[in-house]
Amino acid sequence: MTDQSLRRADELLSELVELVETARTLPMSTSCVVPRERLLDLLDELRETMPPEMDEARRTIANRDTLLHDAHADALQARERGSAEAAAIIAEATARADQLAHDAEVRVHEILEAGRAEHAQLVSATGIHQAASRAAEVLRAEAKDYHAELRTEADRYDAQLRADAERYAAAARAEAETYAAKLSLDAEDYADRTLAELAETLQHSAAVAEQGRAALAQRRAHAPAHGAAQGAAHGAAHGAAHGAATGAPVGR
């Protein structure tokens, strides 16, 4: 709230106090008659001078749940994206390992078929047949070793890809949770600051109102003692004729 707004609010309060203080007193009563339209105009103008932070604080309180819901929704989407990416990486690793194993099996089959073909060609001679048998055994051993080596490499590659995917998914989940926590904290901090500013403004407005009440009480304390009696006599003579034209009665 600016200094100009505070000054205008103080002026409006003073005018309201003066309006009530100088109002005509009703006969046999502590109430008085004030011009209703003028009083309402002053109250409307006083309401317009109130700080815009009050409306902002109301909007902040109303939007707090929306901000928190959006933060949780963003975090949930981030976790889902991380899980989907991790699942895709694992699926790719599994497919790659299966392909390596299939290639190894095909290679082993080709080696065995080549050994059998060579053995069939050399089977006519005993010595050649024995040499072919030994060569075939060597080829079988090499094929088994090659298959075992490929399988080990495929398993290692699959394990590494799975570990990388799990680390990536964990990092994505941690980042999403951190982001959600930060959004929640920022929303609560903003609401707290706005409410604190509103409380300070209301305290100042209350202090100004109390000053106005104190000034009104002081003026009443120093008013002439016969003022009330004159007002009552004057009201008895003319109150019935002019009460409806001047305004509505206000109790004090």
Residue pLDDT, tens place only, 164-175:
989 988 998 899
**Model pTM greater than 0.85?**
no
What 3-state DSSP class applies to 63? helix
Q: For the chain, what percentages of helix, strand and coil (3-state, to nearest 5) are there?
A: 85, 5, 10
Domain hosting 83: range is 3-250
Q: Work out how many domains the chain is built from and give that number.
A: 1
Residue 16, SS3 per DSSP: helix
Checking if the pLDDT of 232 tops 60, the result is: no
H or E segment and range at residue 220:
helix 126-222
Mean pLDDT of 223-232: 50
Q: How many residues does the chain have?
A: 252
Q: Give the CATH number of the domain where residue 87 resides.
A: 1.20.1270
pLDDT tens digits along 173-211: 899 899 888 888 888 888 888 888 888 888 887 888 888
